[in-house]
A and B are shown apart, each in its own frame.
Chain A
Amino acid sequence: MEEFASGKKHDKISIDESGRYIIYEKYIEFRVPMSATGQKVEKSFQEISEGVQLTNVVRDFNPITSPGELRFFSGILELQNIIEKVKENFDDIVDRQQFFFEFKGKLNDLWKISKGREKEAVVLMEDAVKDLRSERLTKKKLKALERAIKILRTKIDKEALVEIDKIFLDARIFTIPVIDKLSEMYEMYEDE
């Protein structure tokens, strides 16, 4: 039985600031056969995009080459949209909680479809927000999350993750869990 990867058809397309990615908005769901790769994927897009001149754009600017990668990238854009909503509703503690909780849930969705370095990026983001409650969220921390997503929109490599580490630390967002009294334990068992 043919397996399908679900994706999205986007009506509104714009180019990311870096020039490397296309931003798709206002989408409808579609499915691509898993057997489709490379040109076939682009062709599938063209077939379902009806009139939207997607093929050239994909070829010129977008390094996305598989349905999985596309889904991950769409997920990052959704994260960005949710963060935007958190920002817009920052002064309403109830709405802030709703959207920030949604953000955490979206990360879990993203984990399920991510691969390789994408997984590293998702776990880093998950660890950043794991112990961050919406009521304790500051504008500085929110800004840091926004900057991290912006980086992930353009690249997901070691350099990007190092940059995000620094952004988080500067905003006092910790991605390493607390292990309290660890230094004491080391002092205590020094002779082993």
Chain B
Amino acid sequence: MKMNKLFLDTTIQIDKIFAYEREKILDYIENKETATSTYVLMEFNRRILKDCRYIHELLKEEETVGDVIRRINKLPKKWEGKKNICISILAAISDTGDLENKDRTVIRLKRFIDRQLKKQFFYGIINIVDETKCDLARESVVEKNDRYFLKTTCKQGEMKCELENFVERNKNEFEDILNGLKLEETLDERLENACNSLEEILNEHEKAMGKNCNKILGDCIISIETPKNHKILTTDHHYELICKHIDRDPLLFQ
């Protein structure tokens, strides 16, 4: 397989913007036939854009950056991850020497939400795959009275995507992944959950939509929607286990 066709998953899309290796990533994908998908965009929005919006809301509500940090630090334990992520983002974008002044921090966040995150998501990308017709990916950030609004979750029965048809069309590959994963000696919790969801959606395709689509089956959906002549560029090692059971090739960026 030629190495010049790459499909960028959500992890590499985030790393392309935020990681120390971002310059390497940009150089690597330059002059290659690159693709990503509306589904990846949905995951990207639901992660980073949603959290930037959340921090912006807190900055609107609280007096200073310090107050926002203190508030996030008090989040209940079940949101430990959200706490760590939001503190990391705030630490990076605020002027650490002046936590009383939030002007620059707010300007940066607005810039990210308004234009930069989405623009940089598409930077260096040539083709957009739209196999799932993800409806959430078509949602844009709306600004109203200096506040931002973005739909990032959907409920079963309310979606307009074609994930159900996608599962039907690619039933064999979903089955191959499930059967392959079952043969693995050990699976981590994430892949165990994926197996349970795969069984569920193979019985009832519409169950692929909603929370399964959002949180559990993401890697499987991305693996299958990737064109067969593309390598999946990722930093997520789960793709190795998933892709070896179907005709896809992940390329772990290191």
Contact = CB atoms under 8 A, between A and B. Distances in A.
Interface in A5-54: none
A101 interface: no
A7 B15 CA distance: 45
Interface residues of A, number: 33
B115 interface: yes
Contacts of B22: 174, 178
Contact of B18 (A126, A179, A190): A179
Contacts, number: 102
A124 B111 contact: yes
B93 A183 contact: no
Nearest to A169: B123
Interface string A162-192: 1001100100101111111111111111111
B18 A178 contact: yes
A180 B18 contact: yes
Contact of B19 (A127, A175, A182): A182
A175 B22 CA distance: 12
A182 B18 contact: yes
Contacts of A177: 18, 92-93
Interface residues of B, number: 45
B235 A192 contact: no
B88 interface: yes
B47 A186 contact: yes
Residue among B85, B89, B190 with most chain A CB within 10 A: B85
Contacts of B235: 183-184
Given A180-B19, A183-B19, 17 more contacts: A123-B104, A162-B119, A169-B120, A169-B123, A172-B26, A178-B18, A178-B20, A180-B18, A182-B88, A183-B12, A186-B10, A187-B236, A188-B81, A189-B81, A189-B84, A191-B193, A192-B80
Interface of A: 111, 119-120, 123-124, 126-127, 158, 161-162, 165-166, 169, 172, 174-192
Interface of B: 10-12, 14-15, 17-20, 22-23, 26-27, 47-48, 78-82, 84-85, 88-89, 92-93, 103-104, 107-108, 110-112, 114-116, 119-120, 123, 190, 193, 215, 218, 235-236
